[in-house]
Structure formats: C-alpha cells, structure tokens
Amino acid sequence: MNHVDKHESFDPEALRRKASEIRTISAESPPDNANGEKVAALNPLARKIAQQFRDDSYSPAMITGLLRLAEFAALLAIGYCIHVFYVSMAITVFYVAVLVGGAAIGVLLLQLADAYQVPALRSPLRMTPRILAAWAIAFATMALALFFFKSGGEYSRVWFASWFAVGAVYLAVERQVIAYAIRRWARNGTMERRAVIVGGGEPAKELIRSLEHQPENDIRICGIFDDRDERRSPSIIAGYPKLGTVAELVEFARLARIDMLIISLPLSAEARILALLKKLWVLPVDIRLAAHAKGLRFRPRSYSQVGNLPMLDIFDKPIADWDNVAKRIFDLFFSVVALVLLWPLMLGAAAAVKLSSPGPVIFKQKRHGFNNEVIEVYKFRSMYTHLSDPTARAAVTKGDPRVTPVGRFIRKTSIDELPQIFNVLKGQLSLVGPRPHAVEAQTHDRRYVDVVDGYFARHRVKPGVTGWAQINGWRGEIDHDDKIRFRTEFDLYYIENWSLWLDLKILFLTPFRLLNTENAY
C-alpha cells in the first residue's frame, strides 16, 4: 500500500477481521424497550425526518439492471416486428438465433462501453457515439459469424439492415428519455442511496462537502448521529442537523429506509470505530468507513467507491438489490407450487381444527419481521381458544394441557405452519430464513435478546417458514439458553452464506427433517 502521514501502519484487512469478531455471540445487559431492543427515544425532529424516508427507493444497481433487461427485450422485439412485416409471419430457428444473439451481444457491448453507468445515463448526448458504435460492432460481429458459418443466404439483407437502423434510432431516442427520467427520479427520491453520517465535527463536514461536490452524486444524506456534545460536534454540520446519538440511530434506521451508514471518524480511532460497529452491525444496511482524509491511497481491492470517494467496506447489507428480486421470485414460485400440492391437506387440517374445538381456524400471532417490524403471522390454531397465549411468553411443553388433540398432531408434523404460505405471498415472510419469534417469546423468564448479544441481527433479512437452524435440528421448544444461542448462530450463518442454492437445499430437506419430532410439542 502507498500510505502517507502517521497512518502508515493502518491495515484495512485487520480492521475488517476485528469487525467480524463483533458477530461473536455473548451475554449482554438487558434491553429496555417494548420490543426487547436497547434503543433510545427519538427526538421529534429525528422522528419527523425518519417518517419522510419510510417509502422504499430504488438503487442505481436495480435501475440499470432493469434497463439492461428492457433494452434486450426492445431490441429483440424490433428485429422480430421487422421480420413479421417484411419477411414472414412465421419465423425460423435461424432467425430466432440471430435475434436473441444480436440483442444479447448488443447489450453486452453496451455494458463493456460503460453505457449503463449512471453518469453515462445522465449524459446521453455525450454517450450517443459510443452507444451507436457498440450497436454497430454487435452487427459486425453477427455478420462475421454468418460469413464463417456460410449461412448468410438464410437471411434477408433488408431485414438485417433495417433492424440495425431502427435499433440505432431507438437507442438514441430511448437514452434521451432515460436521462430525463433519471433526473426526475433523483429529484423526487425514487432513485437514490440514503445515507446517514455517523460521527460529527470536521471529518463529517469534509465528507459531506466532498459528496456534494460530485456532479453525479446519488447519495441522499438523511442526517448525522454522534455521541459527542456540542463543543466537539455542533448541532448543524455542513447544513445537516445532528439528529441524535448512536443509540438513537438504531431506532431511526428501524423507522426509515436507510441504505448506508458512513462512519466519518479518523482511521486511527480504531477502538471507537469498533465500539460503534458493535451497536450498528445488527441493522440491514451497508456500513462503510470513510477513507478520504489525509490523502491515503489503498490498493483497489481494499476499498470501494462512493462516487469518487474511497470507502472501506465493513459490513454489506445481506440479500440486496437483484439478490432480493431473485429470492422474491423463488418465494412466489414455490409458494404457488406448495398451494397447488398441499391445498387438500390444508383444507383437511382446517376442518379438523374447526370440528375438534370451538374457536377460529386461524391463529394470528405478532412476531418480529424484517428490520424488527412487527408482523402478524398465521397458523392453524392448535390450542383451546380460552387457553391460547398470543404473547408466547409461556412456551408450549410436552403434554401441555392448552394444546388440543388435533393441535398436538399438527404441531408435531408442522402442519400448523402451512398458513404462513399466505404470509410469504403477502411479502411478510420468505419461504426460507430465520424463523420469526413472537415479540414476547422468552426462556426462563428472559427474553431472547437478553440471552444473545446480536440476536436482532437475525432480522437483517425476512424471516422464513423454514430455515437453516430448523433442518439442523434446532426446532421446537426453547427451554434452555443454549438453544436460542445455537439457533441464532445457525441463523447468522445462513444470512452470511445465503444463496438460492442454499435456499433450495433447505426447502428440499425440510420435509425429511420434519420426521424428527423429538422437540416438537
């Protein structure tokens, strides 16, 4: 590394390793808020600003990804429509291959030409020559391939030239429209990355000024949080208000849709940085450490860029952007499949519950969802109505008299959980994820968060109907502190190692692991 000044010994990898140790599960002092989380009350200004950012925004990665798909589909459709009007309504496999290949090569070359970067999308006139050159190279590549495969005679030259011409006009005009849309989305907050600055004083002021002076900045600064008093950290920094302390930031990030926390502290303040990370890593956000000061320059792999500013990547938001889209498609597809296959079983269970004891078929319980939001989870009722416990403070035990005979069977076989498929369709749950626990759930008169430091880090992703902990034997009654500790460890492993293949593996193994009913009462 090329370091300067007194920070020559700074090692970003060492800081990352120490930050990862924060995930170690240990006991901590009891929390004190209604949801079991140690937070401070927000002041009226901070709460008002948090409410302004309640709506979701779309990251640049999502917008540019959708644009790639849209341009691929549009270029394919242009070629097909010209074929229909000039060549024939019927299309051969040769034309299909060139249509798909040509549209794909065109999008790939536009990607290689950096035509999907936000600055390029904002400047269509400057990028038009590069865009047209990429489209022309795509056609030159196709023409060369047809020549070498001696298949040029299979295709209409007029169709080929018309597709190129109309496609070029489309790209030129469409990029003008996209540029207008991006400017509008940037103004109304549809496309932005929302950031909170952690730490005040002169470092925060320099960081904000650096961000604001970038011409293509997509960062919206929502406020500043700092533990220091007015003497060291003024209430207004570079025009932005200090909204509270770091403890209050946790509650702020629960209310607002925040994408990124940027820690603006000197790199030498390692102890203070680690103390902040211990409080903040449970949030579902990217956590970055600003490394723009003192002219430091690291190897490219050591940091990422926010605009032109170097940032050390400490923690990444799990299952973000297109991963989140893929997981949602996965959930919808397999939820519909499950309903098609299991509806007779669900109807039979509903009838059995209704006939076995008076009361509603569906039992609703408040549980923690994504980012600690309280959601209402559905289950087939398994207890006598007058003995039910919506708070789940008293865990169900073996031979529990509150459970009906039918309820005992559906709990052992987990049939009582099947209505949660509708929670998945509503977007409150995922098919696979950490199991949602009741808000008041506890073991030995201690809430789970009192037992496990980092417990709420489970909520950085949507909870699931089944999960990694459950297929590894951690299901059923939690009557010992170690059981919730081990469950949390398995949940955190799942979050850090998530993939669609892991979800598929868990989903496939779940029916087989349910045969073990040792701890299910």
What are the φ and ψ backbone dihedral angles of 413, each rounded to 5 degrees? -95, 0
Q: For residues 350 and 380, is the Cβ–Cβ distance under 8 A?
A: yes
Give the angle subtended at the CA of 238 by the CAs of 235 and 241, to the nearest 5°.
35
Say if residues 280 and 258 touch (Cβ distance below 8 Å): no
Position 3 scores a pLDDT of 41
Cβ-based burial of 402 (10 A; exposed 0-12, middle 13-18, buried ≥19): middle
How far apart, in whole angstroms, are the C-alpha atoms of residue 262 and residue 240?
Answer: 14
CA angle 26, 269, 302 (to 5 degrees): 85
- The amino acid at residue 441 is A
With tokens 């597809």, the residue in question is: 333
At residue 42, φ and ψ (nearest 5 deg) are -80, 145
Q: What are residue 378's DSSP bridge partners?
A: 364
pLDDT of 4: 38
- DSSP for 271-330 reads HHHHHHHHHHTTSSSEEEEE--GGG-B--GGG-EEETTEEEEEEE--SS-HHHHHHHHHH
In angstroms, the CA 371 to CA 369 distance is 6
- 483 to each of 374, 474, 475, 477, how far by Cα in Å? 23, 7, 9, 9
Q: Tell me which amino acid residue 53 is.
A: F
Residue type, 73: A
Kindly state the helix (H) or strand (E) to which residue 236 belongs, with its residue range: strand 236-237
501 burial level (CB within 10 Å; 0-12, 13-18, 19+): exposed
pTM of the model: 0.78
Report how far residue 363's alpha carbon sits from residue 387's, in angstroms, rounded to the nearest whole number: 12
Structure-block tokens of residue 515: 């045969």
Reading the block at residue 488, the tokens are 């949390």
Report the alpha-carbon distance of residue 30 to residue 37 in Å, rounded. Answer: 8
Give the Cβ contact number of residue 11 at 10 Å: 13
CA distances from 502 to 122, 162, 320 (A): 38, 46, 16
User: pLDDT truncated to tens, each residue of the chain (521 aa)?
Assistant: 344 344 444 565 666 666 666 655 443 443 444 344 455 677 888 888 888 888 777 777 788 888 999 999 999 999 999 988 887 777 778 888 889 999 999 999 999 998 988 888 888 888 899 999 999 999 999 888 877 766 656 778 888 899 999 999 999 999 999 998 888 887 777 777 888 998 877 888 888 888 888 766 778 888 889 887 777 777 888 888 888 888 888 889 888 888 889 988 776 677 888 888 888 888 888 888 887 555 445 555 556 777 677 788 888 888 888 888 899 999 999 999 999 999 999 999 999 998 888 889 998 888 888 888 889 999 999 888 887 777 666 667 677 788 888 888 888 888 889 999 999 999 999 999 999 888 777 776 677 777 777 788 888 899 999 989 888 887 766 667 777 888 888 898 999 899 999 999 999 998 887 766 565 54
> 415-418: long-range contacts (C-beta < 8 A, 24 or more apart)?
415/345, 415/349, 415/380, 416/349, 416/379, 416/380, 416/381, 416/382, 417/379, 417/465, 418/338, 418/342, 418/345, 418/346, 418/349, 418/380
Q: Which residues contact 73 (CB under 8 A, 6 or more apart)?
A: 103
**Residue 173: alpha-carbon gap to chain centroid:** 33
Give all domains of the chain, ordered by start, each with its CATH number: 5-57+192-317 (3.40.50.20), 60-188 (no CATH), 322-513 (no CATH)
Compute the distance between CA of residue 447 and CA of residue 36 in angstroms, rounded to an integer: 7
Residue with structure tokens 């490394």?
291
